[in-house]
Structure 1
Amino acid sequence: MVYLRVAILGAGAIGSLIGAKLVQAGFDVLLHARGEHGAWLAASGLEVSGIESAEITADQWTVTLDEIEIGDNFRQCCDLAIITSKANNTRELSHVAKYISKGAILTLQNGLGNLEILSSIVGAKRSFAGTTTHAVTRLGPGKIDWRHFGEIQLTSNNPFFEVFEKAKLNPKKYDDINSILWLKLLYNVAINPLSAIIGRPNGALLSDPLRSECLSIFFEAVQVARYEGIMLPENHELETNLLDLISNTSENICSMLQDVKRGNITEIEMLSGEVVRRGEIHGIPTPKNALLLTQVQALQI
């Protein structure tokens, strides 16, 4: 099935890439963005470099800006909506999605709890969750660099699969989305906070003492996930996958480091904060994730 109009809500680096690929695939795309990047998308379009070079002109999509109230003419104007923002904006953009979309809504975000927030606002029948391993860095307003070709991970009944397939974004179907979301969180808590604190690309974590610290943080969070009944590979496989991921994205500047450099609020509460919160519920100590939570919060002041 081909949908005429798809909204991308929270069009930062990954959202801009998805929007560009959907435009190339023939979809009518609406982006909802903010700040200088959003203004640039509206006025001049987007330049994509890295794995694929492309240019989307401003007249190839429609852009609404967070700073300007969305008009009545946008009510129920989209067939589908995809939320790609930072997790701290989920509630706000779920309301935007409810206003703009008349169909299914996908949260394609980091962290835990996004689907629950979305479902509480638009209803469970219209709400879907997924995640992505594509790595994208915003170089400046209207410019992104696609640094790692990954996949978009969805449940088998997800109505967005054909959309991403047509856009050549490598969607994959999984039976247990909770395990996929948890696995993405585990990788994020091991990589993003440390990279943000030291101010270096992912590859810096491959050398000790950072390598050992990264693994300690990772397996502290794994313990919480296993207690919650999340099905995960054996620890030796998890370690290999984590180190392979860091190696494959060694030049990538993670989104949390990008946020710190720009003075933006990070997703630390939905990542390390969720590990700490759930650990406290289950009586599992998480001192390393608690320390990361405090340190990254301090960087945001």
Structure 2
Amino acid sequence: MIIGAGAIGCLVGARLALAGQQITLIGRPALVEAVQAHGLTLRMGTETQTAPAVNAVPSVAAAFDAAAAFDLAILTVKAYDTAAVMAELAPWRSRLPPLLTLQNGVGNEERLAAILGANRVMAGAITTPVTVTAPGVIEVIRRGRVALAAVNPKAPAFPALSLAAMFAAAGLPAGVYDDYRALKWTKLLMNQLANATCAILGWTPSQVMADPRLADLEIDAWRETLAVMAAQRIRTVTLGGYPFPWFAPLIRTLPHAVIRRALGRLVAGGRGSKAPSLYLDLEAGKGRTEVPFLNGAVVTAARPGVKTPVNRVLTETLQALSRGDTPWAEWRDQPERLWQKVQAARR
């Protein structure tokens, strides 16, 4: 059972279904109608595959009504929808299988474990860039990986290596980690870069990283995050092919100009022209974004003496924009205003 039929949910559902797994996908009516009529289509380059046997339903209740039991639930909704999903799952708690969350941000695992128990929750991350081109049709930008870590490493409900093998057989190579916090905070670093700043200014990641002052803000936001992690003894891990344990110390110590060039190349070679997730949620007028679970999580987790002015400004500004408290037009294409606001917060 996959709860959340967005880009990631559809990608995982399609891959697992094509590998022979029985999949029930829970999504919005347009997605359900498209999948019921045409199956779930996965495109990568010139290759197109369709999984015709995916069961698509509009609600958790419909999923449980249509199946006797599930072996695994995979949660792929936005972090701000976790509470609503758990409320929807509550009546079915006795029939709920172990749950794997592939959500972005930090804090989801703790909220899920508080309700289901840590033994029944596994943390995950996926580093495959993917977009939805039409309901039931997804396009993979490039191949990525899945990462898995049990919230309770001793939990018998989660044979992590068996899940890793299942994903690998479906074309999603998977690695198993021994510390879910290290995994999720490292993924936060990846999601954090050139995300909130792009949303506030209405710019692409390449535009942000081409502006030296804004690129320096991105570096300082990372440095704040690494300081928060260090204070809580959360280490970085290699993820998505990026050796964070190797270059995290360099991020902390090298001059901004050196780091700026390296990060600029990293962003340009990845999602440089692609609008990031926070930008897309703001543009869609959803009234909320995942920034509280990304930059906001850094601010919330900061111990006394660890200052987080860049992440705080990014969080507060984007929150005001998403709620409609401040017109987006007042911030779009206004890098000087953002720069000055951060400088004021540092004083």
TM-score when normalising by structure 1: 0.85
Aligned to 2:62, the other structure's residue is in SS state coil
Aligned to 1:28, the other structure's residue is in SS state coil
Residue 269 (structure 1) aligned with residue 261 (structure 2) = no
Distance change in 2, residues 1:109/1:38 (3 Å): same
Distance change in 2, residues 1:212/1:71 (3 Å): closer
CA deviation digits over 1:224-259, x for unaligned, max 9? 111111113243268698556523232433222222
Q: 1:285-300 maps to which residues of 2 (within 5 A)?
A: 285-300=307-322
Structure 2 counterpart of 1:86: 78
Indicate which of 167, 170, 174 corresponds to 1:167: 170
Residue 214 (structure 1) aligned with residue 218 (structure 2) = yes
Number of aligned residue pairs: give it.
292
Indicate which of 1, 6, 19 corresponds to 1:12: 6
How far the C-alpha of 1:92 sits from its partner, in A, is: 3.0
Structure 1 counterpart of 2:343: none
How far the C-alpha of 1:107 sits from its partner, in A, is: 0.8
Asked if 2 retains the 8 angstrom alpha-carbon contact of 1:137 and 1:253, the reply is no
Indicate which of 142, 148, 156 corresponds to 2:136: 142
Structure 1 counterpart of 2:242: none
Q: 1:195-234 maps to which residues of 2 (within 5 A)?
A: 195-209=198-212, 210-232=214-236, 233=245, 234=248
Structure 1 counterpart of 2:55: 62
CA deviation digits over 1:133-187, x for unaligned, max 9? 1111223433322113221111385252122111111111222221111011122
Distance in 2 (alpha carbons) for counterparts of 1:235 and 1:151: 24
Aligned to 1:148, the other structure's residue is in SS state coil
What residue ranges of structure 2 are gaps of 5+ in the alignment?
151-158, 237-244, 253-258, 325-347
Structure of higher CA gyration radius: 2
Distance in 2 (alpha carbons) for counterparts of 1:140 and 1:282: 47
Distance in 1 (alpha carbons) for counterparts of 2:55 and 2:81: 21
Distance change in 2, residues 1:120/1:201 (3 Å): same
Amino acid in structure 2 at the alignment position of 1:270: F
Residue 235 (structure 1) aligned with residue 249 (structure 2) = yes
Amino acid in structure 2 at the alignment position of 1:15: G
Distance change in 2, residues 1:44/1:199 (3 Å): farther
CA deviation digits over 1:74-125, x for unaligned, max 9? 4652111110111112233345567386532101111111111111222222
What residue ranges of structure 1 are gaps of 5+ in the alignment?
1-6
Residue 249 (structure 1) aligned with residue 271 (structure 2) = yes
Asked if 1 retains the 8 angstrom alpha-carbon contact of 2:200 and 2:317, the reply is yes
Structural RMSD (CA)? 2.7
Aligned to 2:275, the other structure's residue is in SS state coil
